Amino acid sequence: MMEKVLLKNLGKAGSHTIANYIAGGGYKAFTTALKMKPDNIIQMVKDSGLRGRGGAGFSTGLKWSFIPKDPTMQKFLCCNADEGEPGTFKDRGIIDHDPHMLIEGMAISSYAIGASKSYIYIRGEFVFGAERLQQAIDEAYAKGFLGKNIQGSGFDHDMFVHRGFGAYICGEETALLESIEGYRAQPRKKPPFPALAGLYGKPTVINNVETLSCIPAIIEKGPEWFSKMGPEKSPGPKIYGVSGHVKKPGLYELPMGTTAKDLIYNHCGGMLRDGKPLKAFIPGGVSAPMLTPKDIDTALDFDSLAAKGSMLGSGAVIVMDSSTCMVKMSYIINRFFSHESCGKCTPCRDGTPWLTKVLKRIEYGEGRPGDLDLLDGICDNIFGRTFCPLGDGAVMALRGALKNFREEFQYHIDHKRCMAS
């Protein structure tokens, strides 16, 4: 068993208080970091090989290095805690149980990029989490880890909680910035990238909760410790959030690159019901194309999943047994995307509801001959033609289902009923 880093305090009473966090060695990494040169911290994070845990898998250190070095410029750090990708509940685990690990990670990151202010964008439904973060921030101010001239270093930093209010698109980094600025959360055109023109037009880094929570351990244990865990090109600990038809759903912190087989059958205790074997699994939240039992030995990391035509995304593994109707699941997934389409660009705004309409009629036994070709055509007209990845996610999910279970969709159309049940 690996030593847990990110979820070490899950389920421990009182782990969210600063007293317990400090007693466990918390804020030591920040104190160490404040004595280092910011560029050396960025280099350490680069050397660690840490890649963004929000879904895109971009090198965190490299992202930080794009921030201009001019010390007179206002810069921002934003933590993406919008956690909205269906199947994903990992960041909530950190926020609720170890808020100071995130705050410490954000404080170190802010120091490294020279940001005097940071915002945690937390989804509106996480009321408990938002209150917990605010309490933790207040504690950190009281102990002198936030505010003016932190630990006598001359570094000033203020941290704020910004609460979302129900919009999946805010997980897209430029939509998140629009939302903080008080506008409808519609993605911006890139370039310019946020590293040059982000929040209020200033250089901004946006990182996911899990990404930022890795930072204190990288400072403390060194980049080599991190880079030696898991696969060479996407190392480190990873939180897998497993839901659906397994005996023990929940959060599992394991080395990156754990196989789907090990996760489902070992850690999660196997399939939920005897006689209902695995039919498919989604490896990284609903945007990630589903895989089937033949892919069970796939390592759950960025590159291995990309090689299988899917993606690690948020590391949310959704497990479906043989009783699952893929038409119904595809309808539910697509209904979500059409509900969450922000309305900015036509292919997604009009295309995703159209997909949902066709999927709904197939699901309800009113499918028409030619509907599958119609779905393919709509997918072709959305994919790669949208402003942001939301439309692509809708298409990737549906294409994954159509690729693996096309005959099941056809059966629904031909027989007006389900093959699975």
Partner 1 sequence: MLSEQAKQEIQAALKKYHNKRSAVMDALRIAQQENGGHVVKRDMEEIAAILEMQPVEVNAAAAFYTMYNIDKPVGKYHIQVCRNISCSLMGAEHIIKHLERTLGVKTGETTPDHKVTLSTVECLGSCGTAPMMQVNDDYYENLTEAKIDELLKKFD
Among the listed residues 2, 19, 127, 307, the single contact to partner 1 using CB under 8 A? 127
Tracing tokens 């929570």 back to the chain, one arrives at 213
In the complex, least distance from residue 71 CB atom to partner 1, rounded to whole angstroms: 19
- Closest to partner 1 by CB, 79 vs 217, is 79
Q: According to CB under 8 A, which residues from 69 to 108 bind partner 1?
A: 83-89, 91-92
Residue 200 near partner 1 by CB under 8 A: yes
Between the two ends of the chain, the Cα-to-Cα distance in Å is 39
Angle, in degrees to the nearest 10, between helices 389-415 and 371-382: 180
8 Å CB contact between 316 and 89: yes
CA distances from 250 to 88, 239, 255, 315 (A): 10, 10, 16, 12
In the complex, least distance from residue 301 CB atom to partner 1, rounded to whole angstroms: 21
In the complex, least distance from residue 130 CB atom to partner 1, rounded to whole angstroms: 10
Q: According to CB under 8 A, which residues from 372 to 401 bind partner 1?
A: none
Starting at the edge strand that comes first in sequence, how are the strands of the sheet with 204-208 ordered? 158-163, 117-122, 76-81, 204-208
Q: According to CB under 8 A, which residues from 202 to 231 bind partner 1?
A: none
Q: According to CB under 8 A, which residues from 306 to 335 bind partner 1?
A: 316, 318, 320, 324, 328-329, 332-333
* x-or-dash string of contact with partner 1, 263-292, rule CB under 8 A: -------------------x---x------
Number of neighbours of residue 118 by Cβ within 10 angstroms: 27
In the complex, least distance from residue 142 CB atom to partner 1, rounded to whole angstroms: 18
Residue 406 near partner 1 by CB under 8 A: no
Q: Name the nearest CA neighbour of 25 among 100, 115, 136.
A: 100
- Closest to partner 1 by CB, 26 vs 164, is 164
Tracing tokens 């995307």 back to the chain, one arrives at 337
User: How is residue 338 written in tokens?
Assistant: 């059409």
Cα separation of 181 and 194, whole Å? 14
Among the listed residues 172, 340, 392, 408, the single contact to partner 1 using CB under 8 A? 340
Cα separation of 114 and 246, whole Å? 45
Span of 33-41, 63-71, 179-187, 357-365 interacting with partner 1 by CB under 8 A: 179-187
Among the listed residues 14, 152, 154, 182, the single contact to partner 1 using CB under 8 A? 182
DSSP string, 124-159: TT-HHHHHHHHHHHHHHHHTTSSBSSGGGSS--BEE
Span of 47-55, 125-133, 293-301, 403-411 interacting with partner 1 by CB under 8 A: 125-133
Which ranges constitute the DSSP H helices of 151-262?
A: 173-180, 209-213, 215-221, 223-227, 260-261
In the complex, least distance from residue 323 CB atom to partner 1, rounded to whole angstroms: 9
User: How is residue 391 written in tokens?
Assistant: 């439309």
Residue 241 near partner 1 by CB under 8 A: yes
8 Å CB contact between 328 and 281: no
Tracing tokens 């919009």 back to the chain, one arrives at 167
User: How is residue 365 written in tokens?
Assistant: 């036994």
Cα separation of 228 and 255, whole Å? 10
Residue 66 near partner 1 by CB under 8 A: no
In the complex, least distance from residue 58 CB atom to partner 1, rounded to whole angstroms: 23
Cα separation of 44 and 219, whole Å? 8
Residue 68 near partner 1 by CB under 8 A: no
Residue 160 near partner 1 by CB under 8 A: yes
In the complex, least distance from residue 324 CB atom to partner 1, rounded to whole angstroms: 7
Among the listed residues 138, 156, 181, 366, the single contact to partner 1 using CB under 8 A? 181
8 Å CB contact between 91 and 210: yes
- Closest to partner 1 by CB, 122 vs 217, is 122
**Contacts with 336 (C-beta within 8 Å, 6 or more apart), sequence order:** 86, 168, 286
Among the listed residues 64, 126, 281, 302, the single contact to partner 1 using CB under 8 A? 126
Span of 162-170, 211-219, 363-371, 405-413 interacting with partner 1 by CB under 8 A: 162-170
Number of shown-chain residues binding partner 1 (CB under 8 A): 54
Span of 160-168, 209-217, 224-232, 301-309 interacting with partner 1 by CB under 8 A: 160-168
Binding region for partner 1 (CB under 8 A): 83-89, 91-92, 119, 123-128, 160, 162-168, 179-185, 200, 241-245, 249-251, 282, 286, 316, 318, 320, 324, 328-329, 332-333, 336, 339-340, 342
